[in-house]
Structure 1
Amino acid sequence: MNRFITAVVAVVVAVFLLGFGLFGAPSGMESVAVLGRALWTILIIGAVLVVAVAPLRRRMLGRSRLLGRLFAPRLARADAAALSPHELKALGVLRRPEAWGMAAALTRETVDRKGQRVRLWPALAGVELTPLGPAARFANPPGVTAGDWDVARVSSAVGFHVEISPAGASSVLVTARTRDPFKGAAKSSGGSLAAGIPCGVQEDGSPLLASFANQSGAVVGGVPGSGKSAGATSIIAQLCADPAAQFVVIDGKGGSDWSWVAPRAALLNTDDENLEAVKAQLLAVTSLMRWRLQTQKERRGTSNFWHAGATAEEGFVLVVVDECQSFFDPKEHMTKAAKELSQEIAALTVNLVKKGRSAGIFVMSITQKPTSDSIPSALSANCGVKWACRVETRAAEESILGARPDGTPDSASPTLIPETRPGGVTVKRGGEWVRARFSYTPEAEAAAIAERYASLRIPFEQLTARQPVFTEGDDV
């Protein structure tokens, strides 16, 4: 009771002081007006510091549950945007850390200035909706760090699965996993050669990017129907609008899967039996690569294509070799001459991957038969981009992605991608594997895009005619 009376008296005195400071004090009480103006100055400076200095703001939120409740308008907006009763319920649980903070071992006891023992809780600092579901941002109370937020313990305390990620020096974001980012066939758009082309969605709901700048090649593998070519189609369809991109497509299926790109491609070869033609085409691309490497320092002022950037005059060249086992694997051929041609084609492709990065040439090798014969080890070792769609064996997984990094969960294995998720893919990025799903562009839509931008096509002969012709006897 005494504390309550003291608080009331303090509030009344503060109100009078602020009033005198703002409107002036009666005659003879000028000193009170000075105190009022000083109090206004302190309040304004304090408010500015709390707003501008993130650590101070989080500390204030961590000590005051009342300040956390000031974020109620954000909660109301999130409630209105939630799509299901389940999400509303999950959000309602997350926003009350006093109901689960103790079970999650995220509270701390301390002694206030008056010697009273008080319990500190994570303070709600805001909510948002993510691709995975509703999320709440909390400021840690003193003594709690991001490492204290254990996923299993918090999930058990709130009663549903959550994801936890740091959100600054002293706060975390807790997300209720109520949505499947892989559900449906999301479309992607936007992006650029320099920044990457959005081509799907990752397991955390963020865009999957196909990166080409300063990269030399990609390996894409998976069983038939797993979404390999569909993923490549989605990427190339988006690149069609870029005048700085040209495509060389060599299709080992020998069918019409890539016919949609014909109006826009510098070259489309669907003859899977004419190995001599494939070799000649790869020799021409190799000649282009060598000419660029030898002359771009003088012509463009840099020895690296990407430092000057891709332009309509000197564009990025994407070479797609679909069902590459038809060309790379000698076992696919009957005669000695064909086997030798196959080895030469594989060697030319490996050379393009090894040296093409600095010349703006990128090779995408796609196969439904991921083995060491279909994907030569030298090719895989030099490709910075590796995508594994659904495969059936651990050996196939390793042929595409290499050895599984330590700590990689079994769920990231492409052998566990369900058949009901076409386009599902495991991406190797640096030292980790990330689950994702390619976006889907219908063939008719891709064909319309290619036709719309057909005027940007540079014929293969013209594309490769700006330099001396590379011949078989030259050193690659």
Structure 2
Amino acid sequence: MTASSPLPTTSPLDAMPWLPYAAGAVVLGLLGWLIVIGVRYLCADKETRRSIWQAARIRRTWPRLARNLGLVTTDRTPTFLQSIADTKGGKKPEPRILTPSLSTETDSYGVTVTVKTVPKIGLEEFQKRADHLADAWGCTRVSVNPAGPGRLRIRAVRREPLFEPYAYTPDGKPPADLSVWDLGIDEYALASVLRMSNVPGVCVAGLPGYGKTSLINGLISRLAPSGAVQFAVADGKVSEAHEGDYADVVNRLFAFVGDDLEAANKLFNRLVKLRRARSSSIRRVLGTTNMWSKGPSTAWPLVVLVIDEAHTYFREYKGADPATKRLAQLAADNARLVEDLVKKGRSVGIVVVLATQKATGDAIPTFIRDVCPVSLSFAQKTTDAAVAALGEDIRNWPDANPVTMQDPGFVGVASMVRQGHEGFTRIRVPYVEPDHVARVAEASAHLTADPFELLVLQAGPNLLKDTDFDTTA
């Protein structure tokens, strides 16, 4: 009897010789991912590490939390594969639970969660459950905003950014976009900006020592490195340029006046004449009727007039003696001239920043204050002062009311209307060391130029004769 030869044996590796390489690639990829995560964690600061753990917890618990909060939807329509699959006894496929997917980014203040929405679960549903999300994630607050078609951005703040010191060191570089002014960070630790394109006036109010002048000096230090911005200051707290809060930036100002009403009147007259000259020549020089359609330039700079302690220049004087009558006449004329700049300076590139303690009608005339589209208020003592600064709607937003910000921990914190959105937001203005402000002003002093002289260079020497400068019109 002849012995039979053994049957050849085959292994899975013979059929799939690439399998070890694929497994090795997966292992290497996983190892590389773990190394990246580990290095990122080790290089992070203490607070960011806590945020990384928080983000991991958010991702891990999200499927269950989403169901508990009703942030899921049931899809009863079979998929293509389900519709062609063989179902025993004609049993219908089980409906699917659709849970919004998410991804996370971390920083020292918390986590930013990007959510991809599902049908029936969108912005409104997430906003209604923001407080529940904050509780579940261990956050001080949560905000939900759209991040594009089918996407939401959830900002989960773990620690309070408004209570922590925040400093800014100017880098001396001109800003890339002069139509956007950086203010600081908001209550969600996100960058807060003012969109200044076509904005003619900004009103800043608040108690002394809470950050008004710091805000303005910070803005000057950011904008000064650009030759496309020129500054003038009227400071009602001092008499001379070397005094007070603007002494460090005086080299970067093309004009400065103190508390002298007559000197201020001359400056305001001068700027109204500039406004009229620009209005009469803008089409010929720029080829447009709105400077913002092209943006500021060194030849046609954005002119920023800062009027600090504005009530100094507008207060009503009562008395029959000649000196008082003279002051009353100057104050009334100052109000008329500044009204002209705020109402008509937008398209030619003139912005007026008015700062005062209480933005009531006796400090800033209502015909000026009410046409300033941007308002900020630091701490206030009374609700009436808050309403004067921010409008009646602030009564409906008690959390943002500046009356609640009188604690010393709120020095440098202001409330402002959310541009393009409903309601108000609070921002922390960064503190800029005076030495840094002085350094930037000194380094950019050579950029200072009189905007009227620049206009004459473009429009020609006949500008003075061709333009009607009657400011009483």
TM, length-normalised to structure 2: 0.76
- 2:83 is aligned with 1:103: no
Counterpart-to-counterpart distance in 1, 2:468 and 2:315: 23
Counterpart-to-counterpart distance in 2, 1:461 and 1:165: 44
Cα offset, 1:204, TM superposition? 2.8
Counterpart-to-counterpart distance in 1, 2:105 and 2:236: 47
One-letter identity of the residue aligned with 2:198: N
- 2:131 is aligned with 1:147: no
Counterpart pick for 2:188 among 204, 207, 227: 204
CA displacement, residues 73-101 of structure 1 (integer Å, 9 cap, x when unaligned): 99777755473465354323211224433
Counterpart-to-counterpart distance in 1, 2:302 and 2:252: 14
Counterpart-to-counterpart distance in 2, 1:72 and 1:126: 17
Runs of at least 5 residues in structure 1 that lack an aligned partner in the other structure: 1-11, 23-70
Q: Which residue of 1 aligns with 2:103?
A: 126
Residue pair 2:183, 2:192 contacting (<8 A) in 1 also: yes
CA displacement, residues 311-336 of structure 1 (integer Å, 9 cap, x when unaligned): 22222111111101011111599812
Counterpart pick for 1:256 among 227, 244, 250: 244
Counterpart-to-counterpart distance in 1, 2:229 and 2:399: 36
Q: What is the alpha-carbon root mean square deviation over aligned residues?
A: 3.5
Q: Which residue of 2 aligns with 1:438?
A: 429
Counterpart pick for 2:352 among 363, 388, 400: 363
Query: Residue 101 of structure 1 aligns to a residue in which SS?
Result: helix
Kindly tell me: are residues 195 and 464 of structure 1, through their superposed partners in 2, closer, same or farther at Cα, counting changes over 3 Å?
Answer: closer
Kindly tell me: are residues 75 and 352 of structure 1, through their superposed partners in 2, closer, same or farther at Cα, counting changes over 3 Å?
Answer: same
Counterpart-to-counterpart distance in 2, 1:447 and 1:188: 12
Residue pair 1:222, 1:369 contacting (<8 A) in 2 also: yes
Cα offset, 1:217, TM superposition? 1.1
Kindly tell me: are residues 148 and 257 of structure 1, through their superposed partners in 2, closer, same or farther at Cα, counting changes over 3 Å?
Answer: closer
Q: Which residue of 2 aligns with 1:185?
A: 166
Counterpart-to-counterpart distance in 1, 2:176 and 2:114: 32
CA displacement, residues 97-116 of structure 1 (integer Å, 9 cap, x when unaligned): 24433322234566774546
Counterpart pick for 1:398 among 387, 402, 411: 387
Structure-to-structure mapping, 1:278-317, within 5 angstroms = 278-317=264-303
Q: Which residue of 2 aligns with 1:31?
A: none
- 2:225 is aligned with 1:236: no
Deviates more, 1:119-128 or 1:376-385: 119-128
Counterpart-to-counterpart distance in 1, 2:317 and 2:290: 37
Structure-to-structure mapping, 1:297-446, within 5 angstroms = 297-331=283-317, 335-404=324-393, 408-417=396-405, 418-428=407-417, 429-430=419-420, 431-446=422-437
One-letter identity of the residue aligned with 1:387: L
Which structure's relative contact order is higher, taking Cα pairs within 8 Å and 6+ residues apart? 2
Counterpart-to-counterpart distance in 2, 1:143 and 1:348: 55
Q: Which residue of 1 aligns with 2:25?
A: none
Counterpart-to-counterpart distance in 2, 1:178 and 1:276: 53
Counterpart-to-counterpart distance in 1, 2:184 and 2:202: 16
Kindly tell me: are residues 110 and 456 of structure 1, through their superposed partners in 2, closer, same or farther at Cα, counting changes over 3 Å?
Answer: closer
Deviates more, 1:152-161 or 1:233-242: 152-161
One-letter identity of the residue aligned with 1:180: E
Residue pair 1:386, 1:401 contacting (<8 A) in 2 also: yes
Paired residues, number: 411
CA displacement, residues 226-276 of structure 1 (integer Å, 9 cap, x when unaligned): 100110000011111111111111110014211111111101212x1x211
